[in-house]
């Protein structure tokens, strides 16, 4: 098998509008920036659901597919064949089916921490049926998890709860003292990323409106201003924040990564990658993959499926605001946008995966010039049981980029982000 310098792992949740309820799979995209050669492989796992965020262990032996279906699922990095899975229901039963182990943080080559039910748990990949409770996580629905630069703090965002309401909180675990701190914020923040060298992290707002003003299981995209908060993990304090008025296309984010100079996150709602200047946290620039309002009808099966599933989520009459705001957020498009973005370890390439248009793009960084764009196969080519009119999207979601071995990269200690070498091993007295 040919060797490629880069391996872009993208979680797949199938062709539905609600990625928390769909399939569970992985797309492995290999790429050589010198020649432009590439290859890809797609695999879905039976009996699993809600594929959400992949992660690769520090020694690059096994991949993890975070999901909302209450499984810990691991796969072979080369073949994408399943190597192990365990039901998390044997440890703790959640109070809602969207509460799953969607993300994890590696402590060393085999040990990791993830959320199950109301607690953070520590596992070893060599004995998945044995686990230890670390601490109550303190959030309604914990989500993205990362480890700060020193390795001392595990930080995590939180989702709104279907019945307990809006979250507006992030969590901080001190791995030395075992203390968990909950920090209240003005907005819900699903996703976080850590500063390259400081025990500082960034939480990016994820703003929605609940169906019938109360049902956060069936939410719609809110056309409201967006935030990015810079937070000191040791002090549990917001240091600075960036705020964009509602006209800035920065709505409904997914992957968050970081360079030496910019906070970088992609938006599934607005079809962009937003890059915020870290020095000032006042300026930003955009990569825009919006197909255009009329051009989006070049994807008729995707657009019609979006309309159909939108009507299933909420009553049109009593929830007209959800439909109107979602249409405004997407700038008239009936398909979704970029769900995956990762920066290479040497900060020269930015990889993205566009869910609605079903393509993977590679940009030069920091110029943001498009280097390559590869249209991926339709779901019907993988699942022959689908009809010719079925939605063809593979269902791109979060991603993880394995880069060539280089000096330490900003994301090497984070969760589902780029990595260039093994993470720091937990020291004595820690978890």
Report H helices in 281-387: 300-313, 320-329
Give the residue-averaged pLDDT of 41-48: 98
Give the residue-averaged pLDDT of 407-429: 39
Bridge partners for 308 per DSSP: none
Alpha-carbon torsion, ordered 74, 77, 80, 86, to 10 deg: -10
Note the pLDDT of residue 431: 60
CB 359 within 8 A of CB 376: yes
> Alpha-carbon distance 70 to 73, whole Å?
9
pLDDT by residue (tens digit) across 105-157? 999 999 999 999 999 999 999 999 999 999 999 999 999 999 999 999 999 99
Kindly tell me if the per-residue pLDDT of 327 is higher than 60.
yes
The two tokens of residue 379 are 């779901």
Percentage of the chain beyond pLDDT 70 is 94
Q: How confident is the model at residue 2 (pLDDT cuts 50, 70, 90)?
A: confident
CB 351 within 8 A of CB 341: yes
Can you give the pTM of this predicted structure?
A: 0.94
């Amino acid at each position: 098998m040919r060797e490629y310098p880069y391996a872009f792992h993208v979680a797949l949740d199938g062709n539905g509008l609600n990625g928390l309820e769909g399939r569970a799979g992985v797309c492995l995209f290999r790429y050589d920036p010198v020649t432009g050669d590439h290859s890809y492989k797609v695999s879905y796992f039976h009996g699993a659901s809600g594929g959400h965020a992949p992660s690769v262990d520090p020694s690059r032996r096994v991949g993890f597919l975070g999901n909302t279906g209450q499984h810990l699922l691991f796969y072979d990095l080369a073949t994408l064949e399943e190597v192990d899975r365990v039901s998390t229901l044997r440890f703790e039963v959640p109070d809602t089916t969207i509460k799953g182990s969607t993300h994890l943080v590696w402590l060393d080559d085999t040990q990791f921490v993830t959320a199950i039910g109301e607690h953070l748990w520590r596992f070893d990949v060599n004995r998945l049926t044995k686990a230890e409770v670390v601490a109550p996580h303190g959030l309604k629905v914990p989500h993205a998890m990362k480890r700060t630069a020193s390795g001392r703090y595990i930080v995590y965002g939180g989702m709104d709860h279907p019945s307990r309401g809006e979250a507006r909180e992030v969590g901080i675990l001190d791995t030395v003292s075992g203390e968990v701190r909950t920090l209240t914020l003005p907005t819900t923040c699903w996703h976080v990323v850590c500063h390259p060298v400081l025990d500082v992290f960034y939480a990016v707002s994820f703003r929605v409106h609940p169906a019938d003003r109360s049902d956060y299981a069936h939410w719609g995209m809110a056309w409201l201003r967006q935030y990015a908060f810079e937070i000191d993990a040791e002090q549990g304090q917001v240091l600075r924040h960036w705020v964009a008025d509602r006209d800035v296309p920065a709505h409904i984010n997914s992957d968050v990564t970081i360079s030496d100079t910019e906070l970088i996150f992609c938006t599934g709602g607005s079809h962009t990658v937003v890059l915020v200047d870290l020095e000032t946290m006042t300026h930003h620039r955009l990569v825009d993959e919006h197909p255009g309002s009329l051009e989006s009808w070049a994807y008729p099966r995707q657009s019609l499926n979006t309309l159909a599933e939108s009507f299933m989520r909420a009553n049109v009459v009593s929830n007209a605001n959800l439909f109107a705001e979602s249409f405004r957020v997407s700038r008239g498009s009936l398909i979704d946008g970029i769900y995956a973005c990762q920066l290479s370890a040497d900060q020269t390439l930015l990889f993205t995966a566009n869910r609605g248009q079903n393509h993977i793009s590679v940009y030069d960084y920091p110029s943001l010039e498009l280097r390559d764009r590869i249209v991926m196969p339709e779901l019907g080519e993988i699942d022959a049981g689908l009809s010719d009119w079925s939605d063809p999207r593979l269902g791109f979601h979060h991603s993880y980029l394995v880069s060539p071995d280089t000096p330490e990269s900003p994301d090497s200690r984070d969760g589902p982000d780029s990595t260039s070498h093994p993470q720091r091993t937990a020291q004595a007295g820690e978890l």
